[in-house]
């Protein structure tokens, strides 16, 4: 442990990224003379000289300066007496906690409050005036600084980064080192960014090698995780698991392990008493075998529970108060007389089925009237149940979608509030959960993964009704499962497939191209330029410059820049999302793309982007505190000036004025939201984003770059999804032969068993 004495830059090279700190040594495990040492950092130095820190790094010897420590990371040492605990809590690490509140925390909870908060953050609710969102924030910060001290030294010896060490501590707590020592392969199967190779390196240091059962079983479980995370399957065939696990082991040490040994370990894993096997510790849960299928337990449970709950709802739900089907049809026909639009037979069938069945599936391509059906279902539902008032109606009708933008579009169509599925799952209070006879309508169902569907079904009661709406030809979910397609293939629930196109002209080339791809009738005839589809055959090195030229062309036609959206298959490479975003941003900053906005540096950034005032950005995950949903588009409008506040100087015990942190201000739907520096990973530039991120959204003018560098990702579902995002115009730019091969390529099959379980 060291105490900071001084901080200074590299005077010989002011542009150097390194900072040199002179620190007073209190405790160390390196040989050095004197009571201080030079610490060299290429990261931001500690904030205050009055605090004690732990520095981790490698020793360097310099002829002029002697022994130096090249620091990889450091953490703040945490006090245990009340005075210093108050100083720590009011040090600025915790947003919303000033000295008076810090004193109140210590007074209420005692000197050991930090340990209490780590173990159970809800104890902070005993302290009056602490906002709910601050409770978990305080716990996270303490974990980063307090809990890490007990394990950081050992984890550093294993070359585990500080960020991953924090994730390990959150999962295993004070037992982190013990868990890893017993079985390092828990890291490969629990911690993002630590694969089998890294876990195997740590295992080797712990003398866990060769045919050790923990190693073989770790390879098997890692194989299963890769199948789920990379390929979206919920199970794998037994022979395939053994083969892939063997390859994983061979890639590590080029040793061909006997398939019998791998099979023996797999048999132990599928043993129901796996926790009692000598010498084996699993943190994943038992592996299950059903016939020739190998599951991780949780995925087996997901599919089984979903099937049971859907079947129960389908067969045992109470009917609506309708005298007869004939009565329902009469009331529906009277309702249609007041509509300003006409419904097709397919749409009529969809609306009526929603009143007669507890689980209904509606699928169709773009422009087939899915939104009109949702609107009509709501009108008929209101008519049949005769709600007391609109508030009662809103309590019993719940509209959901996988992304924020899709939920926003549902609200625009229906006039009723819609939320993301995750928001619904995470925000249900017990009194709401007790209500029954609700109507759920879920749009963009093709994006629904198996875990989310299981969480949703946990919230559904036996008399609820569920209407699942989507386009089965779009991309499957990012995570494991193929819920929507499995439900359709099972043929258990009433399903309507819409074929008639209403939106856009029947002569629309966008519609024609989408239908051609959807039906699989592929030929070179699809490549033809029209008023709303433009094909630009370019080499991959010309793609970005062509996008720039096409944007200028649209602007010259008085098309607003905000109506233009670039959608790309991949983040990587010179034609990928990140590169295109940076290129468009640079052109806007330099006014090569004319704009009525001034693009001004903010000083805020993340590991991919520097952000400017005027930038178009996208929210990357749900943030309930900010009420911003995953996928929402916004614009950076400013930087909030730091607010002055009064704090007590720890050394002089006198009041001093200090500045609070700056925040980045983003405008979402006419509402300004502030972001702290540590929240920058929630944002990304959005001039270009992925096909997956675009699902549930539509844009007037879509540009789709096609590069051979992304050939491996091209398939019919991906290109169909990208094309159907365009409302008025689609411009396809790049290597068109890659596009043609892509639409002939079917998505890799996902191995799921939900369709067989549904009855």
Grouped pLDDT means (10 residues each) for the chain, 759 residues: 48 55 80 80 65 77 79 66 74 71 87 79 81 73 63 74 76 81 86 87 91 92 89 93 95 93 91 56 67 90 95 78 78 87 90 92 89 91 80 86 86 89 76 67 94 94 92 89 95 92 67 80 71 92 95 95 94 92 95 91 92 94 80 91 61 62 88 88 94 88 93 88 92 91 86 92
- Stretch (H or E) spanning 397: strand 397-401
**CATH number of the structural domain 509-620+681-744:** 3.40.50.300
**Whole-number pLDDT of residue 11:** 38
Cα distances from 581 to residues 12, 578, 636, 691, 748, in angstroms, run 36, 5, 15, 15, 29
HSE of 653, CA atoms in CB hemisphere, 13 A:
2
Joined tokens for residue 717: 């579902």
Rg of the chain over all Cα atoms, to the nearest angstrom: 29
Given a contact cutoff of 8 angstroms between Cβ atoms, the answer to whether 631 and 403 are in contact is: yes
Q: What are phi and psi of 55, to 5 degrees?
A: -110, 140
- Stretch (H or E) spanning 310: helix 297-316
CA distance 241 to 238: 5
pTM over 0.85, yes/no: no
Cα distances from 418 to residues 384, 685, 689, in angstroms, run 22, 25, 23
Strand 439-442, strand 564-568: pairing: unpaired
Kindly report the CATH class assigned to 302-498.
alpha beta
Between CA 372 and CA 381, with CA 377 as vertex, the angle to 5 degrees is 155
Q: Any idea which residue has 């005075």 for tokens? A: 83
Q: Shortest CA distance to 539 belongs to which of 707, 711, 712?
A: 707
Given a contact cutoff of 8 angstroms between Cβ atoms, the answer to whether 236 and 754 are in contact is: no
**Whole-number pLDDT of residue 145:** 62
DSSP readout, 613-666? ET-EEEE-S-BTTTTB-TT-EEEEEEEEPPPEEEEE-TTT--EEEEEPPPEEEE
Strand 236-237, strand 293-296: pairing: antiparallel
DSSP class of residue 320? P
- Sign of the dihedral through C-alpha 470, 475, 478, 482: positive
- Stretch (H or E) spanning 297: helix 297-316
Q: Residue 381, class by beta-carbon neighbours within 10 Å (0-12 exposed, 13-18 middle, 19+ buried)?
A: buried
**Whole-number pLDDT of residue 582:** 96
Q: Shortest CA distance to 2 belongs to which of 62, 74, 72?
A: 74
CA distance 559 to 564: 8
Q: How many CB atoms lie within 10 A of CB 702?
A: 24
Task: Assign 524 to helix, strand or coil.
Answer: helix
Cα distances from 396 to residues 208, 389, 426, 433, 440, in angstroms, run 57, 11, 18, 12, 8
Strand 19-25, strand 2-9: pairing: antiparallel
Given a contact cutoff of 8 angstroms between Cβ atoms, the answer to whether 718 and 568 are in contact is: no
Given a contact cutoff of 8 angstroms between Cβ atoms, the answer to whether 350 and 468 are in contact is: no
End-to-end CA distance of the chain: 64
Q: Which residues contact 275 (CB under 8 A, 6 or more apart)?
A: 282, 286
- Stretch (H or E) spanning 21: strand 19-25
Cα distances from 615 to residues 257, 307, 361, 671, 751, in angstroms, run 54, 45, 39, 16, 41
Q: Shortest CA distance to 687 belongs to which of 543, 591, 566?
A: 566
Task: Assign 65 to helix, strand or coil.
Answer: coil
Largest CA distance in the chain: 97
Q: Shortest CA distance to 376 belongs to which of 334, 345, 416, 339?
A: 339
Cα distances from 362 to residues 352, 359, 518, 661, in angstroms, run 12, 10, 16, 49
**Whole-number pLDDT of residue 4:** 47
Cα distances from 25 to residues 34, 42, 345, 409, 641, in angstroms, run 8, 20, 81, 60, 37
Joined tokens for residue 112: 């050991």
DSSP class of residue 702? E
Q: Shortest CA distance to 27 belongs to which of 19, 37, 17?
A: 37
Q: Any idea which residue has 């365009």 for tokens? A: 726
Helix axes 238-253, 213-231, angle to 10 degrees: 110
DSSP class of residue 128? T
Q: Shortest CA distance to 719 belongs to which of 706, 700, 728, 701?
A: 706
């Amino acid at each position: 442990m060291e105490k900071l004495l001084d901080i200074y830059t590299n005077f010989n090279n002011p542009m150097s990224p390194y900072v040199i700190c002179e620190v007073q040594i209190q405790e160390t495990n390196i040989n050095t003379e004197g009571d201080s040492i030079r610490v060299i950092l290429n990261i931001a130095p500690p904030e205050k000289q009055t605090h004690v820190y732990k520095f981790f790094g490698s020793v360097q010897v310099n002829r002029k300066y002697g022994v130096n420590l090249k620091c990889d990371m450091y953490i703040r040492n945490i006090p245990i007496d009340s005075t210093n605990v108050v100083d720590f809590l009011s040090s600025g690490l915790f947003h919303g906690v000033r000295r008076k509140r810090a004193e109140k925390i210590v007074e209420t909870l005692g000197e050991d409050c930090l340990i209490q908060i780590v173990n159970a953050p809800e104890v902070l609710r005993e302290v009056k005036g602490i906002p709910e969102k601050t409770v978990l924030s305080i716990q996270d910060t303490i974990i980063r600084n307090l809990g890490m001290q007990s394990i950081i030294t050992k984890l550093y010896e294993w070359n585990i980064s500080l960020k991953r060490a924090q994730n390990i501590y959150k999962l295993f707590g004070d037992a982190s080192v013990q868990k890893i020592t017993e079985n390092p392969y828990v890291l490969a199967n629990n911690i993002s960014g630590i694969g089998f190779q890294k876990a195997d390196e740590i295992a080797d240091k712990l003398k866990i090698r060769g045919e050790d059962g923990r190693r073989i079983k770790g390879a098997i479980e890692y194989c299963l995780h890769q199948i789920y995370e990379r390929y979206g399957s919920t199970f794998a065939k037994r022979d395939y698991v053994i083969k892939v696990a063997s390859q994983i082991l061979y890639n590590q040490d080029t040793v061909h392990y006997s398939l019998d040994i791998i099979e023996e370990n797999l048999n132990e894993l599928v043993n129901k008493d796996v926790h009692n096997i000598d010498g084996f510790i699993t943190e994943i849960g038992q592996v299950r075998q059903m016939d020739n299928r190998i599951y991780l337990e949780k995925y087996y449970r997901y599919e089984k529970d979903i099937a049971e709950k859907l079947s129960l709802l389908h067969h045992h739900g109470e009917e609506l108060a309708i005298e007869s089907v004939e009565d329902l049809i009469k009331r529906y026909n009277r309702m249609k007389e007041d509509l300003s639009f006409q419904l097709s037979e397919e749409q009529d069938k969809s609306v009526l089925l929603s009143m007669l069945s507890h689980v209904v599936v509606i699928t169709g391509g773009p422009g087939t009237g899915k939104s009109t059906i949702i609107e009509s279902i709501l009108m008929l539902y209101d008519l049949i149940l005769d709600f007391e008032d609109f508030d009662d109606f809103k309590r019993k009708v719940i509209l959901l979608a996988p992304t924020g933008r899709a939920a926003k579009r549902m609200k625009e169509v229906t006039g009723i509030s819609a939320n993301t599925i995750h928001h619904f799952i995470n925000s249900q209070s017990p009194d709401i959960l007790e209500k029954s006879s609700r109507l759920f309508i879920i749009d963009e169902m093709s994006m629904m993964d198996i875990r989310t569907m299981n969480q949703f079904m946990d919230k559904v009661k036996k008399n609820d009704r569920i209407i699942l709406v989507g386009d089965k030809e779009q991309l499957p979910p990012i995570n494991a499962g193929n819920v929507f397609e499995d439900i359709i293939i099972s043929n258990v629930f009433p399903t309507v497939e819409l074929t008639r196109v209403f939106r856009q002209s029947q002569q629309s080339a966008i519609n024609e191209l989408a239908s051609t791809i959807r039906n699989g009738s592929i030929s070179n005839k699809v490549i033809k330029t029209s008023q709303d589809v433009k094909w630009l055959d370019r080499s991959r090195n010309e793609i970005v410059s062509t996008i720039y030229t096409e944007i200028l062309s649209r602007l010259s036609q008085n098309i607003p820049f905000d109506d233009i959206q670039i959608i790309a298959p991949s983040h990587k490479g010179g034609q990928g999302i990140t590169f295109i975003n940076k290129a468009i941003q640079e052109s806007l900053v330099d006014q090569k793309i004319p704009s009525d906005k001034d693009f001004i540096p903010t000083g805020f950034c993340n590991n991919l982007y520097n952000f400017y005032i005027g930038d178009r950005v996208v929210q990357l995950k749900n943030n309930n505190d900010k009420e911003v949903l995953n996928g929402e588009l916004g614009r950076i409008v400013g930087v909030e000036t730091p607010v002055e506040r009064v704090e007590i100087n720890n050394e002089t015990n006198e009041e001093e004025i200090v500045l609070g942190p700056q925040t980045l201000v983003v405008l979402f739907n006419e509402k300004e939201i502030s972001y702290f520096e540590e929240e920058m990973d929630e944002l990304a530039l959005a001039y270009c984003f992925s096909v997956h991120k675009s699902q549930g959204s539509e844009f007037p003018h879509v540009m789709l770059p096609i590069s051979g560098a992304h050939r491996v990702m091209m398939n019919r579902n991906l290109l169909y999804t990208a094309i159907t995002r365009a409302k008025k115009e689609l411009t396809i730019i790049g290597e068109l032969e890659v596009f043609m091969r892509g639409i002939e390529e079917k998505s890799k099959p996902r191995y799921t068993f939900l369709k067989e379980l549904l009855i």
